[in-house]
Structure 1
Amino acid sequence: MTRVVISVGGSILVPSLDAHRLKEWAEALINLTNAGIQIFAVVGGGGEARRYIEACRDIGLDEASSDEIGIQVTRINAALLIGALKEYAYPVVAESYREAKTAAVSGKIVVMGGVTPGQTTDAVAAVLAEEVGASMMINMTAIDGIYTADPKKDASAKRHDILSPQGLIDMIMKEKMCAGSNMVIDLVAAKITERSGIPLVVIDGRDPALIEKALLKGEFAGTIVGDSLIRFPIV
């Protein structure tokens, strides 16, 4: 069975506590499952986690402790998604890569949140993709791919259809030197992707149906990061 790891930021999954949005995501993931793809979803904390982390700092907690509380928020979001997926999901939020691999034996959708303080959702997803031997990692974000510049600020910015892992790392390193940079994926995740050789696909996550269109119908719009060409649909 083809395995796909999906990184879903909390602000994409639950921009607000909206049951309709969760149901839309559940429907998309269930349709992928019914098509024969085993899904692993790594869920972020979004704005809610950031608010908790800020409160932790305000009361004087150290960064590691603040991150631990942020991780708990990601796991609450993961539990919400499991609830929306019902019997299609493994019923317990995986809290480690080992737990995710064990849960995968069930054949159900495996959902996890954060794992380690200081590690982003994308980095967790990149490691998980290695651990479970995924065919690809998909980053569902608030933009439809990786651009040459921030398209919100630069009208001449163009989307990369294909980008090498090293090309992505070079872009992130360049952006890190600029104030206010806003790359769709972080450096750690990019380096893990390069190491593993597992293709990274960046898709607009604001519409959950787009992942179905890409994987099942071949209607792909986004960026592929990898040394080998992915052909859609994948099943």
Structure 2
Amino acid sequence: MLIVLSVGGSILAKDLDPEHFAAYASALRELGKEHKLVIVTGGGVAARDYINVARKVGANEVVCDFIGIDITRLNAQLLIAALGKDAYPEPPTSYKEAESAIASGKIVIMGGVIPGQTTDAVSAVLAEYLNADMMVIATSVDGVYSSDPREDPDAKKYDVMTAKELVSVVISTEMKAGSKSPVDPLASKIIERCNIDTIVMDGTNPQDVLQVVLQEASKVGEISGVHLGTRIIG
């Protein structure tokens, strides 16, 4: 089974803790024993900090996107280093490069690709392009909510939702480099278009990601909730 996993920079590289990168590498090795994996790493706090400085000195949004992409690729290289011989040695810089890298039999790690796409959107396009069996978005919240649970105590968590419902929830997210959302609008529309089985979950603990993916990979196509996240269906 081919699985595309989007790992938010805010959980992978929050404090640039080498032990956390090592823990993620360990979980990915276990997953890699049973499945083909392509990981897309986000930029997180570091990317937002650099983007904020760039905006203040006059950079436009495309330049800000390129800066964010560079940071995502640095995070990818750190995870590659943690995986060692189990990882493809360089982050692919395009979807075609990622497709070729999979043929190596290694775990493929990459960051952003082009301006205007968050790493979630990259993951969604990649999942469609590769005809992946499942996509997992590991973020800093435990699923998709009707509104931001950090700001709205009455926010409702969805255990199962359609891709169309996902689009309606996140469509108001501002499309700027470094914006925060459990799934951004472009990624949501791509998920709706390609109808891929998708899970959004809290990826702070890499062992949770391991557990959910191993359990849910055998349930692709079933309409059931995910205890540690939200399942998105067509």
TM-score (normalizing by structure 2): 0.88
Question: Which structure 1 segments of 5+ residues have no match?
Answer: 228-235
**1:97 corresponds to which residue?**
95
Select between 147-156 and 84-93 the one with higher mean Cα deviation.
147-156
Partner of 2:197 in structure 1? 199
Match of residue 187, structure 2, among 182, 186, 189: 189
Q: Deviations over 1:33-76 (max 9, x none)?
A: 11x11111001111111121222223333321222122111111
Match of 2:3 in 1: 4
Q: Is the contact made by 1:49 and 1:74 (CA closer than 8 Å) also made in structure 2?
A: yes
- Which residue of the other structure, out of 78, 83, 88, is the alignment partner of 1:80? 78
Give the AA of the match of 1:223. Answer: T
User: Partners in 1 of 2:154 and 2:61 — Cα distance?
Assistant: 38
Q: What are the ranges of 5 or more consecutive residues in structure 2 without an aligned counterpart?
A: 217-225
User: Cα distance 1:66–1:20, how it changes in 2: closer, same or farther (>3 A)?
Assistant: same
- TM-score scaled to structure 1, two decimals? 0.88
- 2:228 counterpart letter in structure 1: A
Superimposed CA distance per residue, residues 56-111 of structure 1 (whole angstroms, 9 cap, x where no aligned partner): 22333332122212211111110000000111110111100010000000111111
- Identical-residue share of aligned pairs (%): 44
3-state SS of paired residue (1:16):
coil
8 A contact 1:213–1:220 mirrored in 2? no
Residue 215 of structure 1 deviates from its aligned partner by 2.3
Aligned residues: 221
Equivalent residue for 1:28?
27
Looking at structure 2, the residues matched to 122 and 168 of structure 1 have their Cα atoms a distance apart, in angstroms, of 14
- Matches of 1:45 and 1:150 in 2, distance apart? 21
Distance verdict in 2 for CA 1:136–1:55, change over 3 Å: same
Q: How does 1:95-134 map to 2 (within 5 A)?
A: 95-134=93-132
3-state SS, counterpart of residue 223 of structure 1 = strand
Shift of 1:175: 6.4
2:211 and 2:143 map into 1 onto residues whose CA distance is 15
Distance verdict in 2 for CA 1:213–1:84, change over 3 Å: same
RMSD: 1.8
Amino acid at match of 1:222: G
